[in-house]
Copies of this chain bind each other. A is one copy, B any other.
Amino acid sequence: MADGPGGETLLFLTDEHLRKGIEAMFFAYRGFTKDPDRILTEYGYGRAHHRAIHFIHRSPGTTVNNLLSILGVTKQSLNRVLRTLIEDGLVESRVGYRDRRERNLFLTEKGEALEGALSDAQRARMRLAFRNAGPEAVAGFRTVLEAMMDPELRRHYDGVAERGQ
């Protein structure tokens, strides 16, 4: 009674299912950020610091502009965060080699230590969820989330920086 052209059932597309999916995102995201948030508070940092630290760790040597386009905030906003991380000795900013206007960002040893603590906590919860759900559910999870991203942002998710241009 609710079959599409291919004959598949489309019951999973009802408004009620979609609402449930929306709330799943809302409540799961709360769990997703809870553990890192607790650690960040101990260090006097916020979620914005976490994001900067995460992406510098993932792409060492990334430029400020690249980070801006990943995070989607203004440079004034990012700069405030970056400045404290540099002052506190968690991030190092080196003048670009090819283009001396650019700054290449790196985590210091201290920065890597905090990154490790944060992502250990976040991965622990994710690992438990993945394990309980099983590999097929995890594949579906990834598929749906990927389909939900903006194409613009999807770029940053798919490829991890083609540094050689």
Interface residues of A (CB under 8 A from B): 8-9, 11-13, 15, 17-32, 34, 51, 54, 58, 72, 119, 122-123, 125-150, 153-154, 156-157
Secondary structure dominating the interface of A: helix
The answer to whether B140 touches A137, judged by C-beta atoms less than 8 angstroms apart, is yes
Q: How many copies does the complex hold?
A: 2
The answer to whether B156 touches A27, judged by C-beta atoms less than 8 angstroms apart, is yes
The answer to whether A135 touches B9, judged by C-beta atoms less than 8 angstroms apart, is yes
Complex CA distance for A122 and B140, rounded to whole angstroms: 20
In the complex, what residues of B have CB within 8 A of residue A25's CB?
28-29, 32, 145
The answer to whether A145 touches B34, judged by C-beta atoms less than 8 angstroms apart, is no
The answer to whether B27 touches A154, judged by C-beta atoms less than 8 angstroms apart, is yes
